[in-house]
A and B are shown apart, each in its own frame.
Chain A
Amino acid sequence: MTRFLFLFPLLFISGLTARAQDSVQTRQLDSIRITARYRLRDMGMQKTSLDSMELHSDITGSLAHVLTRSSSLFIKHYGRATLSTASFRGTSPSHTQVTWNGMKINSPMLGMVDFSTIPSYFIDRADLYHGPSSVTLSSGGLGGAIALSTSTPAQEGLSLQYIQGAGSFRTFDEFLNISIRKQQWSSSIRLYFASSRNDYPYTNYRKKHFFYDDQGNVSGYEYPVERNKNGVFRDFHLLHDFFLKGSGGGTWYVSGWYSATDRGIPLLNVDYKESSSVRNNQNDNTFRGILGWRKLHNGSKLEARAGYTYTDMLYQYQRGLGDGNWADMVHSQSFVHSLFSQLEGEWYLENWMFSANITLNQHFVTSTDKAVISTQGEQSLLGYQQARLETSGFIAARYRPSERLGVSVSLREDLYGKKMTPPILSFFAEYLVSRKGQVMLKASAARNFRYPTLNDLYFMPGGNPLLKPEEGMTFDGGLSAQDKGRLVNWSGNLTGFYSRIRNWISWLPTFKGFWSPVNIRQVKSYGIEFRGSAEIHPGNNWTIGGLGNFSWTRSLNLGDPVSWADQAIGKQLVYIPEFSASFTGRVSWKQWTFTYDWTYYSERYTTSSNQTRTQLGVLGPYFMNDIALEKSFRFNHTVLHVKAIVKNLFNEAYETVLARPMPGINYTLSVGIVPLFR
């Protein structure tokens, strides 16, 4: 019992405790806390936690970049500030549910999150819930879920941090954090601004410039050296967090996050249009605000949250009229207002922990395309306007009959609109095999559902109001171990998973000439995830360490064949690599730190039949090498950090997505200033 009482406050304090504010200053390689903490709440779960040290390591990095480097997720992207979506255990982007300070931030229209729009410096902690574990956070995470959160300032009193980065292709990043922490309250303001021409040069192996002889016959050719067209972006974010300890042990908190993103969508490298003749652009304005109250009591916790999200997104595809004006070819705009509220409670009783919550999300969506000309030759609007209430209720019971064994069961029930998903049941268990090395066995199973997005149901044209929810069954089991010694710290986690998703929603062409979603596929995915870290302290101010991730993912289409000729059945899903791995090595000596990042994906198929002939059907294996060297200088009243980053160290020419050329070797120099006020 004593242990449980000790563990209980730890759960909540962990979200509030000070974390190292500055990545350069105090980085340690075991900063990523891996799954299987011996805690009641996370019992049996496969959970990966990334803390502020890992998240705040590179000013140029969005959350997409951090997840690529530090987790087993596959992030599909084609450069900085481009759509970056996550595939968790071989599933689609909409199968990863994401919350920010407890509020769901998946688009109600599209179902997914673009991780390139989340600066990693705006998140203090990211918890990745793999497979069945995701149902404890939300339904619909058929692959998994990610909980993002901000926390109170790490240091007492006033603190300030300013980082400026300048990089290749006229890329500039600026970050400012002003925070103050007093005994009863704290306040933190973060500003982030990034801009780039993003017009990196590349040799275009998808085009040829031919030379002709006098008779007009081809006499030779060269591959043109082009620049990334239309890739310019500007990204602005402002975040304010405020915490107040109220009377009677309660804590109030308010967070507001505004972002404005203006980004070009780069032209393909097979596009022969000039960037002066077309413009392809996306503007996003988003505000997320949340107000919460939390109270810890003897053996219980109560928490209430209310929030609001506003998003407007404008996509324009325009052609130049030659006189400096532009005409819309596509003008698609959406407005989303979402209201959120949640009430949550947790109770501890002897060896038991009970928890329950109820969550409401009310969405109001307007989606229009005004570049349509009606049959009468007039401008008209095409789109939809819908509102939907989503309610989710959750209860869980966790029981630890002995020190070594823990089991839990949970039940979630969702309502969307007037429809209800079947009960979402999940089971978790863990067993401590050995105290030495904290060797622990874990297993979990869950049934899960993801209901269709508003675009799936109502998009004009093509929305299908008859869609059924996607239904998943998922299991995993694994082994974790860790040890912390004077000289060496290490940890490892090995997990196997299996899941089956029915009624997978796919958008397909119809008889009527437009695309429409249907429940068509059944997908089976299985594989292995491994995560390990080690850190050595050989003395003399040296620290050497490494963190590695490896995953093997088979994600297979087991749907009904379209016809006898269908070759897609039993094949790996498009753009899902079978193998992926990442490794980060760090060497620190005194105030110097050298970092080496290596990322690998195996080949990705671009056809459902996994056609491998020529370069049209498959993208070759991806290997990326980045290095960074940083040094901090401590003065009387200031700490100065200087960091040099080299990305694509070996200047590889490559594509991560078909026809999307990527930058060669590129450089960033960042300088961080932390005044010392004490």
Chain B
Amino acid sequence: MKQINLLLTTGLLLIFLPLTSCMKYGPSQTEDFPPGPTGEGLLIINEGNFMYANASLTYYIPGSGKTENEVFFRANGINLGDVAQSLSIFEGNGYIVVNNSGVIFVIDPNTFRLKGSITGLISPRYIHFIDKRKAYVTDLYQEKITIVDPQSFRILGYIPVTGHRSTEKMVQWENFVFVTCWSYDNKILVIDTVTDRVTDSLEVGCQPTDLLLDGNGKIWCAAAGNLYRIDARSRKIEKTFPAQADGARTYLAMNASRDTLYYLNKSLWRMGTDQAATDIAPFIVLDKRTYYGLAVDPVTSHVYVADALDYVQQGKVYRFNTRGVPVDTLTTGVNPGFFCFK
């Protein structure tokens, strides 16, 4: 009887166990990317979805119209991370700020291969380079700006921004960096890059986001649906332009000669930086949806508008020439939001 029982048990085990199978998971293959044409190439940061870890990097060659998606993943075999926010190229390195991963990846912008990373951050947003050994990193959740060394990838220190929960975009005029305080705030802080301390601030509309410097030493800021033209020297608002009737967020970009400002307001608008009022008609009529990013090629002044579609699929980027004629449509990763020209 014992033998029968043993046989029964063994037989049943053999029946059950073949139901198994291996899951496809593990190391990913890497690819080599040959360097593109010198001086040409657009890198697009695809934010991905919050907590999905599906941020990605798209590479586009405007001359040939060739697009390569997920180049960071393919070059390095690892994820770019959760909510990639921005990318800046400095001294031949690309610095990708990945917000919810709390990391800045340093890559070769030609091969997309990792050269290192900056960690010890909480919720980094943008990086601004002061010189070869010093850069500022803004943060969504910290009342301080992190000072990092772009060469050693180490944290050097912090600039306290007490009373301001988040810091966002930065532009530099002479020795002063202007920083928007975005989340439930309405300030632009002024930081002395010599002392690394906040020395001044000015008030704009609620939740200021984009910040640009034009060719005349004027700073342009988008907040509460308005455009603010600020004199960098006097730190005074020179003029306020209504940009979004419903107080909604807008995106800004500047052309190659830094004398024309582009902004999104359901359609694409542009204005001269010394213009007294905004135009009556848009530069390019779009279909009145929320677009996710805007950039102007610093060489050709071609305009790129990012479209996140339903926010959970591969986005599109529409490219227009200086006359507003469509030139190309790119398919990117999920939520394309930031552009960096090589």
Contacts and interface: CB of A to CB of B under 8 A. Distances in A.
A337 B314 CA distance: 42
A508 B313 CA distance: 13
Interface string B274-311: 00000000000001011000000000000000011111
B246 interface: yes
Interface string A576-588: 0000000101010
A86 to B, nearest CB: 19
B77 interface: yes
B159 interface: no
Contacts of B290: 509-511
Contact of A611 (B209, B314, B329): B314
Given A512-B248, A540-B5, A565 B101 contact: no
Contacts of A594: 9, 12
Contacts of B51: 268, 659
B146 interface: no
Contacts of B80: 270
Contacts of A542: 5, 8
Contacts of A606: 49, 52, 54, 312
A375 B22 contact: no
B27 interface: yes
A511 B267 CA distance: 12
Interface stretch (A105-113, A523-531, A614-622): A614-622
Contacts of A567: 309, 313-314
Contacts of B5: 540, 542, 589
Contact of A565 (B17, B164, B329): B329
A372 interface: yes
B24 A620 contact: yes
B101 A270 contact: yes
B167 interface: no
B1 A650 contact: no
Nearest to A382: B184
B26 interface: yes
Given A270-B53, A540-B1, A622 B23 contact: yes
Interface in A612-644: 613-617, 620-623, 625
B141 A616 contact: no
B230 to A, nearest CB: 18
Given A598-B19, A609-B313, A611-B313, A270 B81 contact: yes
Given A511-B266, A512-B249, A596-B16, A615 B309 contact: no
A349 interface: no
B314 A607 contact: yes
Given A218-B114, A540-B5, A659-B82, A583 B309 contact: no
A2 interface: no
A374 interface: yes
Contact of B27 (A223, A508, A563, A614): A223
Contacts of A418: none
Contacts of B24: 620-621
B123 A329 contact: yes
23 contacts: A205-B27, A208-B78, A210-B114, A216-B115, A218-B113, A270-B53, A272-B121, A277-B120, A375-B206, A382-B184, A508-B310, A510-B290, A511-B249, A544-B8, A562-B309, A563-B307, A620-B23, A620-B24, A621-B24, A654-B23, A658-B52, A659-B79, A659-B82
Interface of A: 205-208, 210, 216, 218, 223, 268-273, 277-278, 317, 319, 329, 371-375, 377, 382, 508-513, 538, 540, 542, 544, 562-563, 565-568, 574, 583, 585, 587, 589, 594, 596, 598, 606-609, 611, 613-617, 620-623, 625, 649-650, 652-655, 658-659
Given A223-B27, A278-B122, A562-B289, 12 more contacts: A205-B25, A208-B77, A218-B115, A269-B53, A273-B102, A273-B119, A329-B123, A372-B184, A567-B309, A585-B16, A589-B9, A623-B23
